[in-house]
Amino acid sequence: KRKNQLSVEEYVAGILEGNRTILSKAVTLVESSKPEHQKIAQQIILKCLPYSGKSIRIGITGVPGVGKSTFIESTGKYITSLGHKLAVLAIDPSSERSKGSILGDKTRMEELSIDPNAYIRPSPSAGSLGGVARKTRETIILCEAAGFDVIFIETVGVGQSETVVHSMVDFFLLLMLSGAGDELQGIKRGIMEMADAITINKADGDNVDRAEMARVQYMSALQLFPPTDSGWKPKVLTCSAYKKIGIDKIWKTINDYLSHVNQNGYFQFKRSEQSKFWMYETINDQLKSNFYQNPKIKEILGNFEGQVLNEELSSFVAAKELLETYYQSQKVKE
Amino acid sequence: KRKNQLSVEEYVAGILEGNRTILSKAVTLVESSKPEHQKIAQQIILKCLPYSGKSIRIGITGVPGVGKSTFIESTGKYITSLGHKLAVLAIDPSSERSKGSILGDKTRMEELSIDPNAYIRPSPSAGSLGGVARKTRETIILCEAAGFDVIFIETVGVGQSETVVHSMVDFFLLLMLSGAGDELQGIKRGIMEMADAITINKADGDNVDRAEMARVQYMSALQLFPPTDSGWKPKVLTCSAYKKIGIDKIWKTINDYLSHVNQNGYFQFKRSEQSKFWMYETINDQLKSNFYQNPKIKEILGNFEGQVLNEELSSFVAAKELLETYYQSQKVKE
């Protein structure tokens, strides 16, 4: 054991005490790709598990320009002022980074970043969406064990990340702007139907009427959607994160949702389903990764894909031949 | 070679001649799970591939009671009256069967089932959604090689099948009823955002006004959705399949869509992407199937899942241990 390196017990004790420096070090281990770091990280997580789960996990999405940082700053300050401890995480895989950096710039959350009851951690920078998602989900466990009882998970609403965030949060909030025009260009189809609430930001000054009109429009559109599994009717709200207007109503809506899903048992049901989902997701990811990282497969995959795209080979014949090659190469290795 | 059994060449020649008996026999081979049948089936498909692809593939979904059979009957008759040859397939995995049987009862399509220019084939009855989907996709190839230039793929809008159908069609049609109330109960969230057109059926008699009102409502709701990848603005139509009203407009809408996506290149782009998707989907399905069918994994999986659900084990640790067991058992076998 090197100097300066903590034992698993020291990590866990520090986290349970709410020591932010130790929490950050543990998260760094979670994010590391080194096997020796991963081993310690898994032991820490396992010991933190019994102390986790006691938070509200809130997903926040919206395209760049919608005002996510300001929204998190204002909502975050409001939540800590009520006596909560807030952790802000992000899922922002490198492949999607160019589409709108989030949390990269802590200075955009001036007040929240120095709030002793808030902990801001940017997205792990490297890796696939699956890898980043796993790390974020493990970081949630550590933050909860450290006493954070509200977790924000931020993502940009333009890629695959929202589905992943949706699968690890209790409540999913979509930030929009008034005027159902340009800002929709960036949003992925399907996200609207995932939202437990849509909030139209920048409802201030000249924009108040337009925001209210947008609210009514979205409200009536949502009524045409099929009901949610939770039985909750998604809400549409307006706010001005910049002027701190309407933040209290958003927090109230989240709490109304929680009462609703606690009463009908959906909260715990969804949490369990999510845990199960992540077990299978991790297995399936690893099975795929082993296949696609196989040197022989890497060598021939492009050629097969080309033949399928040119309709020289059926998708199924190509798949069959690739699988045979893979299992053959596995046999030879042993 | 047994008596009565055709050679691959005889199958292919028969299919290319449009011989329906031989086509049906070939589809039966595609649907068979026997390896010797699969082997012949794959050879037939490979030889039919160059003659396939020249059809319009249309997905049709809607909950039980919306009038899918009558809709397919009326639309189908209209399409064959224009000189087209129509094949009607279905994706209806056994697990979802109870939720609303489709095409099981050909007598519900009295006219179409005796139309020499229509070919109706019920869903393969056995197997997982992935398996049924593969068989349907291969059947499309055979039908196209047999000269069918319009393919309907029907499914009930309540399960996972729509996503699968969406990934193998050019145009996706959602059937609805007027009154955005009860019939929505059955539809899965997310399906509305997949639709290239929504058609409100049973717009006849007392129902005409209500259907028109629903049409306007859905139209304005769709305008709030993010744009589609194809650049097509999804349409909302009304029809009465029973009274054969509005069927021509639906066919016109489909043709408008085709002009649109042929012009901007999206048609061919989507077809290629779908072929690629199915190659990877088949590989990933098989990798998972090998894992979950492994006897050792089957034995211990339930216990791990239970521990994850009870929060005694992290999703990721459970996954890791299961994977180690699997790869260990693979080594022993060889």
Q: Looking at residue A147, what is its pLDDT?
A: 97
Instruction: Quick: pLDDT tens for A274-294.
Output: 999 989 988 998 899 889 989
Of A112-126, A178-192, B122-136, which range is least confident? A178-192
Closest Cα in chain A, distance from residue B284 (Å) = 7
Instruction: Quick: pLDDT tens for B203-253.
Output: 999 899 999 988 988 888 888 887 888 999 999 999 999 999 999 999 999
Which of A188, A191, A279 has its CB closest to that of B305?
A279
**Burial annotation A162-176 (CB, 10 A radius, 16+ → b, else e):** bebbbbbbbbbbbbb
B156 shares contact with chain A (CB less than 8 Å)? no
Q: Which pTM was predicted?
A: 0.79
Q: Which residue has the higher pLDDT, B151 or B229?
A: B151
A314 shares contact with chain B (CB less than 8 Å)? yes
Residue in A94, A92, A44 with CA at minimum distance from that of residue A68:
A92
A66 shares contact with chain B (CB less than 8 Å)? no
List of chain A residues whose C-beta atoms are within 8 Å of the C-beta of residue B284: 284, 287-288
| In chain B, % of residues over pLDDT 70 | 89
Cβ A316–B278 below 8 Å, yes or no? yes
* CB distance A166 to A183 below 8 Å: no
Cβ A291–B288 below 8 Å, yes or no? no
For residue B197, the cross-strand partners are B173, B235
pLDDT band at A149 (very low <50, low <70, confident <90, very high): very high
Closest Cα in chain B, distance from residue A263 (Å) = 20
Q: Which residue has the higher pLDDT, A83 or A31?
A: A83
List of chain B residues whose C-beta atoms are within 8 Å of the C-beta of residue A174: none
Q: Which residue has the higher pLDDT, B273 or B106?
A: B273
Which of B50, B53, B318 has its CB closest to that of A279?
B318
- Mean per-residue pLDDT of chain A: 87
Distance CA A129, CA A168 (A): 14
Distance CA B219, CA B200 (A): 11
A308 shares contact with chain B (CB less than 8 Å)? yes
Q: Looking at the predicted structure, is the pLDDT value of residue A333 above 60?
A: no
CB pairs under 8 A between A and B: 186
Which of B189, B284, B314 has its CB closest to that of A45?
B314
List of chain A residues whose C-beta atoms are within 8 Å of the C-beta of residue B317: 42, 45-46
Q: Is the ipTM here above 0.90?
A: no
List of chain A residues whose C-beta atoms are within 8 Å of the C-beta of residue B190: 190, 193
Cβ B319–A53 below 8 Å, yes or no? no
- Determine which of A283, A296, A322 to mutate to test the interface with B (most B C-beta atoms within 10 Å): A283
Element (H, E) at A52: none
Distance CA B210, CA B68 (A): 20
Q: Which residue has the higher pLDDT, B72 or A105?
A: B72
A224: closest chain B residue by CA: B180
Residue in A216, A220, A198, A226 with CA at minimum distance from that of residue B213:
A220
Q: Looking at the predicted structure, is the pLDDT value of residue B121 above 60?
A: yes
Q: Looking at the predicted structure, is the pLDDT value of residue B159 above 90?
A: no
If you average pLDDT over residues B112-140, what whole number do you get?
84
- Determine which of A156, A279, A329, A330 to mutate to test the interface with B (most B C-beta atoms within 10 Å): A279
If you average pLDDT over residues B248-274, what whole number do you get?
96
Distance CA B70, CA B254 (A): 19
Q: Looking at residue A193, what is its pLDDT?
A: 82
Q: Looking at the predicted structure, is the pLDDT value of residue B262 above 90?
A: yes
Q: Looking at residue B247, what is its pLDDT?
A: 97
Instruction: Quick: pLDDT tens for B51-94.
Output: 998 999 999 998 878 888 899 999 999 999 999 999 999 887 65
Q: Looking at the predicted structure, is the pLDDT value of residue A159 above 70?
A: no
If you average pLDDT over residues B259-285, what whole number do you get?
93
Which of A280, A309, A331 has its CB closest to that of B334?
A331
pLDDT band at B96 (very low <50, low <70, confident <90, very high): very low
Q: Looking at the predicted structure, is the pLDDT value of residue A80 above 70?
A: yes
A322: closest chain B residue by CA: B283
Sequence-distant (≥ 6) Cβ neighbours of residue B240 within 8 angstroms: B201, B202, B203, B204, B246
Q: Looking at residue B221, what is its pLDDT?
A: 82
Tokens representing A87 are 């952790």
- Mean per-residue pLDDT of chain B: 87
Which of residues 159 through 188 in chain B touch A, CB cutoff 8 A?
180, 184-188
Q: Which amino acid is at A37?
A: H
Looking at residue B206, what DSSP letter applies? G
Mapped onto helix, strand or coil, the DSSP state of residue A61 is strand
B268 shares contact with chain A (CB less than 8 Å)? no
Of A112-126, A205-219, A235-249, B175-189, which range is least confident? B175-189
Cβ A226–B187 below 8 Å, yes or no? yes
If you average pLDDT over residues A100-117, what whole number do you get?
72
Q: Looking at the predicted structure, is the pLDDT value of residue B303 above 70?
A: yes
Taking the alpha carbons of B324, B327, B329, B332 in that order, is the dihedral positive or negative?
negative
Distance CA A213, CA A221 (A): 12
B225 shares contact with chain A (CB less than 8 Å)? yes
Q: Looking at the predicted structure, is the pLDDT value of residue A110 above 90?
A: no
B217 shares contact with chain A (CB less than 8 Å)? yes
If you average pLDDT over residues B148-174, what whole number do you get?
86
Distance CA B63, CA B159 (A): 10
Q: Looking at the predicted structure, is the pLDDT value of residue B95 above 50?
A: no
Element (H, E) at A278: helix A266-292
Q: Which residue has the higher pLDDT, B93 or A273?
A: A273
* CB distance A25 to A10 below 8 Å: no
Distance CA A247, CA B138 (A): 54
pLDDT band at A295 (very low <50, low <70, confident <90, very high): very high
Q: Looking at the predicted structure, is the pLDDT value of residue A59 above 50?
A: yes
Of A104-113, A200-209, A320-329, B249-258, which range is least confident? A104-113
